[in-house]
Amino acid sequence: MTNIGFIGLGTMGRPMAGHLQAAGHRLFLHDVVPVAPELVAAGGVVCKSAKDVAEQGDIVIIMVPDTPHVEAVLFGPDGVAKGLSKGKIVVDMSSISPLATKEFAKKVEALGADYLDAPVSGGEVGAKAASLTIMVGGPERAFNTLKPIFDKMGKNVTLVGANGDGQTTKVANQIIVALTIEAVGEALLFASKAGADPALVRQALMGGFASSRILEVHGERMVKRNFEPGFRIELHQKDLNLALEGARALGISLPSTAVAQQLFSSCTAHGGKAWDHSGMVRALEMMASHEVAKA
């Protein structure tokens, strides 16, 4: 089995690392907080720095929140770059800037290692169930090496192109998710304000052309008022910032994406940055002075 370094063992990273351990891989672990005891009990080796992880692992997986965090992990004083050697593979599974990703890849490749950007979709539920969608950018040879490892963490694994293309695909995914949450929120709010039972409306819509995974999961959250985070609003805001920054660079307009970001910003202004992103409906509810779950 493979020696794998794993940096970033939070909500997503911890179950992902656990699946790799269950498959028999030896893991070298590092995080800014104490590593989960269950990973250590399963044989994980705790390393004091990202450099140490890179020295021990043939493959180094990174799963941290944002672009600056990835840059620090890679190129900080005791970063991954200091511990790399020829033939190793760095895999960034965070969701970060596609443009920055391309620059990171060039620097890593200059050290003789391969680089894959492999952001995921599916949230905490998908991480725990090993059912993540994994969108990969980078050299095909490195992808072929990593495919069996990706398969232990996800069910839909696709090489979409060169470095940066995985991150571009993730940004596109987040646009669709945000706009669909908005659509579901508006629909259930309309139905509820009109006097219909939103739970039954959602049930009826699940059998028609409007059916979607977001209507199923996030629509239920809206009806049941469960906004404990599976994926926090502040993280989705970060992803939509990437979309809007990219749109400016490309000279295109993403008007609905901008509206969705403003709704998230309204939630944040009301103390909701840590709500699940289905909590976007609360911004719509505040404007309507009506909650979806109330007749």
Positions marked catalytic: 170
**295's tokens:** 């007749």
CA 121 to chain centre: 5
Q: Is 289 in contact with 276 (CB distance < 8 Å)?
A: no
Angle in degrees, CA 166, 167, 168, rounded to 5: 90
**Distance from C-alpha of 184 to C-alpha of 221, rounded to nearest angstrom:** 11
DSSP string of the chain?
--EEEEE--STTHHHHHHHHHHTT-EEEEE-SSPPPHHHHHTTPEE-SSHHHHHHH-SEEEE--SSHHHHHHHHHSTT-HHHH--TT-EEEE-S---HHHHHHHHHHHHTTT-EEEE--EESHHHHHHHT-EEEEEES-HHHHHHHHHHHTTTEEEEEEEESTTHHHHHHHHHHHHHHHHHHHHHHHHHHHHHTT--HHHHHHHHTTSTT--HHHHHHHHHHHHT----SSBHHHHHHHHHHHHHHHHHHT---HHHHHHHHHHHHHHHTT-TTSBGGGHHHHHHHHHT--TT--
**129's tokens:** 């169930």
